[in-house]
Amino acid sequence: MKKINIGIIGCGGIANQKHLPSIKKFADRAEIVAFCDIIGERAEKAAREYGAKGAAVYTDYREMLDDKKIRIDAVHVCTPNVSHSPITVAAFEQGKHVMCEKPMAHNTEDARKMLDAWKKSGKKFTIGYQNRFRDDTTTLQKSCASGSLGEIYFAKAHALRRRAVPTWGVFPNKALQGGGPLIDIGTHALDLTLWMMNNYKPVSVTGQVFYKLGRSPEGPEGNVFGPWDPKTFEVEDSAFGFVKMENGAVIYLEASWALNVLKSMEASMTLCGTKAGAEIHHGGSYPKDELIYNLVENNQLMEKTLSPGISVDFFSGDTAAEAIREQDQWLDALLNDKEPLVKPEQAFAVTQILDAIYQSAQTGKEIFL
């Protein structure tokens, strides 16, 4: 059986906690033959721990993509958000398949460049929205697809942390990330919500972002990842958006790293349909994932609950089950010429909406798409 040769660009946290151990689980189907990071020691360490025999190490992704001495079938882009687009475009121009970490890009313009390069390449392309592979989300998506909820016309996408600002990597750096919690964890909640609704046609967006706690001297108190430096906190600490879809449906999106709120949850949602409703509670205040349907049976209001008990935290040590499932389907798509679950056009809609929330907050106006 042919193995997929993979090149990793960016050997930091998300690569080591998600991509590298996940690929290692499928050693019979794939191997990592190239590692690239602007910090050479980090790439060398990853190569020693996860690389195939003789795996190459680079500090410049262009050099890696140009190297004709090594066969690379697919590239995983695990770098800060603002570099997703140029690296992905370059990989497609060199004839590689691409899995890019979320979000697709930090703005619509860069995301469109990625779409255009992908369409020209004829290669496979997906974005790392691993939350689609959880037990609760896959179960709810099947319910939505079967019509059990009816027409979903109102939804909330939840990505709220009470005090959980990431204090590692480049998360507070606006120049490298493009934004804060909205683009970091809000992107997961929005992706799941659009997927459940099977609705990717936004027409207008209104939003607001806040720089209240991140830059406050008292803000870092109580942070679960330890105190951050308010002087270097360049991104928003919370953001909120209201999205109108072409068919009249609306979505409310809330995202925060630091917010004085009792209940915190990530990659969660509330769906309201004409036949029934559903909620997913995940992360933060919920040690176990909760999927709750609300409906009417025999003229009585009913609730049905599923609690699979899976929690996601890629920086706690273990590789989550959804990351393994994500990698499994990606390799299956490459080896058997299938469509990956997360399609580029869907990820583009997510970036388009997030970008519009930032634009609306900056201009004070509703943004029409």
pLDDT per residue of the chain (369 residues) written in tens, 0 to 9: 689 999 999 999 999 999 999 999 999 999 999 999 999 999 999 999 999 999 999 999 999 999 999 999 999 999 999 999 999 999 999 999 999 999 999 999 999 999 999 999 999 999 999 999 999 999 999 999 999 999 999 999 999 999 999 999 899 999 999 999 999 999 999 999 999 999 999 999 999 999 999 999 988 999 999 999 999 999 999 999 999 999 999 999 999 999 999 999 999 999 999 999 999 999 989 988 999 999 999 999 999 997 555 444 444 445 579 999 999 999 999 999 999 999 999 999 999 999 999 999 999 999 999
The CB density around residue 65, as the number of other CB atoms within 10 Å, is: 22
Q: What is the pLDDT of residue 313?
A: 46
Place of tokens 């059986």: 1
From CA 20, how far away is CA 289, in angstroms rounded? 25
From CA 2, how far away is CA 103, in angstroms rounded? 30
Pairing of strands 250-256, 152-160: parallel
| DSSP string for 123-179 | --EEEE-GGGGSHHHHHHHHHHHHTTT--EEEEEEEEE-SB----STTTT-HHHHSS
Q: What is the pLDDT of residue 315?
A: 43
From CA 351, how far away is CA 161, in angstroms rounded? 21
Closest-CA residue to 247 (of 196, 191, 201): 201
Instruction: Considering the domain delimited by 4-128, tell me its CATH architecture.
Output: 3-Layer(aba) Sandwich (3.40)
From CA 210, how far away is CA 236, in angstroms rounded? 5
From CA 183, how far away is CA 106, in angstroms rounded? 7
- Span between the terminal Cα atoms of the chain, in Å: 46
Element (H or E) spanning 108, and its range?
helix 108-121
CATH 3.30.360.10 is the classification of domain 132-326+345-368 = yes
For 208-227, letters b (16+ CB in 10 Å) and e give ebbeebbbeeebbeebebee
List the chain domain ranges: 4-128, 132-326+345-368
Closest-CA residue to 159 (of 311, 14, 269, 322): 269
Is the Cα dihedral 115, 345, 253, 288 positive or negative?
negative
Q: What is the pLDDT of residue 316?
A: 44
